[in-house]
Amino acid sequence: MVCEKIQDLLSPYLDGELTPEAKAEVDAHLSSCRECAELLSLLRMATDSLTAFPDVEPSPDLTAKLYAVPARKKKFRFSLDFLVKPSLQPVLTAATVLLVIFSFYMFGPYKKDIDKSVNLQIHRGYSQIERLYAKAGSVTDSLSATAENFLVSLKNINPLGNNEE
C-alpha cells in the first residue's frame, strides 16, 4: 500500500512538483525500498529517452504536395464521409430495419401467405366501401322521397279550410 502511494508520487517527484514534506517522504521510502527506487530509475530513463527523440525531416515531395493543397481544395472532391456522420445514424438504422423486414418478406417462406392475407384485407376493405356507398345511395333515395312527400303535403294543405268542392 505504501509503495502504491509512493509510485503515484514518482511522476510529480521527477517533475519537481512535490512539496518539501512529500519529497522528504518519497526520499525516505526510496532509500529503503529497492523496487520503488528501480521504478524511479526506469521512469527517469523513459522520460530522458523520449525527450531525446529527434525531429524528423518531412520529404521534399511532401512539402511540394502541401504547397499544392490550397489548389486541391478548390476542386470538388467526392467523399462518402457523410455516411459515417452520427446525425445520419438513426436514419441508416431505420433504413436497415426496413430493409431486413422487406428481405424477410421477399425471400422468406411466407411470401404467398402474406400476399394472400394482404389481398384478402384489400378485398374486404373494398367490399365494405361498396356496401357503405350503397347504403349512402339508399339513404339519399329515401331522403329525396321524403322531401317529395313533404312538398306534396305542403301543396295539399289548405290553411283557410275552404273546400273548393
Partner 1 sequence: MLVDMYSKKVFNMAYQFSGSYQEAEDLTQDIFFKLYHQLAKYDFEKNFTAWLLTLVKNYLIDMYRRTKWEKRQRDDFDKHLHAVSGTDNPESDLQEGENKKILWQGLNQLSSDIRMAIVLKEIQGKKYEEVAEILGLPVGTVKSRINRGRLQLAKILHDKRGKIHGL
Residues forming the site for partner 1 (CB under 8 A) = 7-8, 11-12, 14, 38-39, 42-43, 45-47, 49-59, 62-63, 65-67, 69-70, 72-73, 84
Instruction: Give min distance, CB of 113 to partner 1, in A.
Output: 44
Dihedral, 93, 97, 98, 99 alpha carbons, nearest 10: 100
Of 80 and 160, the one with the shorter C-beta distance to partner 1 is 80
Distances in Å between the Cα of 160 and the Cα atoms of 1, 21, 95, 157 are 121, 126, 79, 9
Instruction: Give min distance, CB of 40 to partner 1, in A.
Output: 9
Of 11 and 142, the one with the shorter C-beta distance to partner 1 is 11
The three three-digit cell numbers of residue 159, written as one number: 290553411
In DSSP notation, 59-76 reads PHHHHHHHHTHHHHHHS-
Instruction: Give min distance, CB of 15 to partner 1, in A.
Output: 8
